[in-house]
Structure 1
């Protein structure tokens, strides 16, 4: 199901909201809802918080607090599902450039942070009715570090983006993963090189959530073949089969290991050269850096772009000078939060963000994009703050360890 090659043309135009008349029945429901939520202080939020950076398995705790009363221009959201991403862990550790703002939460002696950057919310109450948002709408969060590891929040209506669901096939996990991993994959595939059907690209960390999204979008939407690199591990054939299934219906996905690429006697370089043929690799996506990132860069062709969006090895990226001087390789960085921030100040930028969400939503709904395997950590209404804090620390610890290759979520 290969689509047209131009990614910018593929982005679906965001549909303009039709003017809505409010029926008597709806008005009564809104009046009832307004009365029910007139004092939002009666609503309590349970949040996963931390007061200082450090080991995520130690600094996290839970806190129950009263929400402030919403003002004009604000909405009350129930968080349907909240993602745990590697960047969230880096934020907790204090090594990520995007930092949340400290908050004064009722019941805490000092300021605290609420964890989480991604998820989806369900609108419970809209102060200014008659606009685009209504009760029951699903939304994603339009600003970085809004503190999504919470059961409820009050925020500005302009700080959320409505999810234009077309069918019930959009699951909570899909909605909760719209903002970061597939969005990162799509932007990197479309913003740095003009890839055409039949082209080939290379990436490391191919088993990550971003890597799996890259395989699907490149193969199924663009007709682009992928060379995928991962660490050597048991059941490597199973991973190769999984990536091939993600590419099914599009261009092939090939899997190799860093160790094989580094070993002159393994034959991996020769196999990759045979796959490339007369083509040149135009785009490389690097989330590892260190020696493995450098070895990957050596596979790339003239006038190519190496895009770095992570440093899992915690080692610097060293690119041979010859690649830059003689092959005119461009080395660039990418950060999804910066892309979002660059689109906040203009109507055109806001439209681009909505188009991005609409495109990914459509692909999720038609089955051409699937999220990674998930593990949902349920936080029951009966759980006390000690239990919630323990569950949070255990979930983040398991996510850090890459337990079972699954993506973790909080569900309050």
Structure 2
């Protein structure tokens, strides 16, 4: 079906409706009838859009005064297809709302496109290049960058990223982007963003099953999320300096691969015994966090598809949040509510740093049991907390349980969801406003 369908949103009941998603059809007009029940209206809209997409409808025009920003975006999320072959003509609204829809759509489509590329299409170098190109398109001359690749990483002491990525013919890359809209070299950094960019994860010598490996092209979801979030924040008017660090690598098996029993010594002196090569995300993120610590940012955010334990705890509709700073955590949760972008805080305390003991090093990178054992997501966050400045003040860790679905469901088509992007973009902009208020006080 290729013709454009007009979709109206109404609160009136339908005389006859199709299925249980509040849809009724009149020639080329579809009416979406909101039901007066316990479910959030935005979820109803997203589910109905998903049903229209499942019917093969690819072009729609949203019509009527009920289509405000939140309603149109909920529809877009459900209507989006894995391959991006859909078009939405937005309903008229004020200019600011229309600009916000276009900005979200740009970030959403970029993230989905890069996440859905096959691992041979999206190597560590390609991921870094595409992220840099997208940010340059959005921010122009406000973008500068540093690029470290392959043996350069080892020479400068970034042993985690180098160790994980050295088994691949595609070298690991650390991309450090400087968004500095003022252009002043002494402008202070307000925020640092760190993203896990594992473009394919075999598990290394802790080899995954075929089923577990199939979707591991999406293990770069953290890097895609923070890149898209920065792009969205810039389009929303972000005017403060931000550093973005992407830790990009493939985790493969070869004679060059890092091994169980290896001990890594990080630049801050922390030693780590490798007891699971499939817990590689925290190994590369440790380097990214140490790099960010060099500028001592007031706000430090990392994002990663880090643990199956977070998925087990929250399912696929909430991302997990970890923080040692309660004030920063509350700001993140408030941002998620404002953006209607589900987020849930899970436990983290300083003693989680000692939950993965090693006889040979300061810590192990996991516990030597299946899945990392009980509390695996908190233990991973505890590991990361060893590499952040100021005992975790201003640090937020997003474990992206909701960023990808291996198959379609009632809300999403198969693949990336971009959940987390809006929350992080909101934090970037709102934190900026908070700092301005403090300076003016």
| TM-score interval, normalised by the smaller of the two chains | under 0.3
Give me the TM-score of the superposition, normalised by structure 1.
Answer: 0.28
Tell me: higher relative CO, structure 1 or 2? Use CA pairs within 8 A at least 6 residues apart.
Answer: 1
